[in-house]
Amino acid sequence: MALVPCQVLRVAILLSYCSILCNYKAIEMPSHQTYGGSWKFLTFIDLVIQAVFFGICVLTDLSTLLTRDSGNQEQERQLRKLISLRDWTLAVLAFPVGVHTTVLPFILIEMRTSHHQYPSRSSGLAAICTFSVGYILWVCWIHHVTGMWVYPFLEHIGSGARIIFFGSTTILMNFLYLLGEVLNNYIWDTQRTKAPPGQDTQCNLSCDKPVQNLCKKT
């Protein structure tokens, strides 16, 4: 069975991210040769997150094609886990971290074409806070080892201003998580109101076959 356009799009996006990462690593920049390498930059970390996320999306699509109409409950259970991982990665990492770069259009397309189930708000916010604090500690550790800040402007502000800046970025990440949750709910609540009576929006308006298959069984 031929892949539907959204599935083809996910493959294309994944390949583009892999190409960007390969070219990024091939660029000889002095900062890439210092302690932490490319991993000290949030832009590079975001590229890896996006590549991993769309890799999970493609794996989900392939798993759906392989398990469709198989009747194997264990395979369906594993597929549900994969879908949950995909949704969690979008909610906690791909959308909040991706908003600060040009990858946002791809995330919005993915959010529009496929329904994603957000985790509970408390666990989602806890996860994004953990990521934010982890990256801040990583930046501080690099400064401790090398004596230089990853972002030069941090050299020109006082310690109090740095604390305010780091705290503000953590709050911003929490806001972006909530924005993604609201946007996701708005997209699918709007589609639900447009759906014919008696039809499940997730099953009929999404091109996400895993969701459709799971809906049919409920």
Q: How far apart are CA 207 and CA 76, in angstroms?
A: 18
Q: What is the pLDDT of residues 63-107, one digit of tens each?
A: 888 877 767 778 888 899 999 999 999 999 999 998 876 678 888
Tell me: pLDDT of 202 over 70.
Answer: no
Q: What is the pLDDT of residues 163-192, one digit of tens each?
A: 999 999 999 999 999 999 999 988 877 655
At 60, the pLDDT band (50, 70, 90 cuts) reads very high
Nearest Cα to Cα of residue 92 among 109, 117, 113, 110: 117
Q: What is the pLDDT of residues 22-53, one digit of tens each?
A: 887 777 777 777 888 889 999 899 999 999 99
Proportion of the chain above pLDDT 70, given as a percent = 83
At 201, the pLDDT band (50, 70, 90 cuts) reads very low
Residue 117 contacts residue 80 (beta carbons within 8 Å): no
Q: How far apart are CA 182 and CA 176, in angstroms?
A: 10
Other Cβ atoms less than 10 A from the Cβ of 210: the count is 23
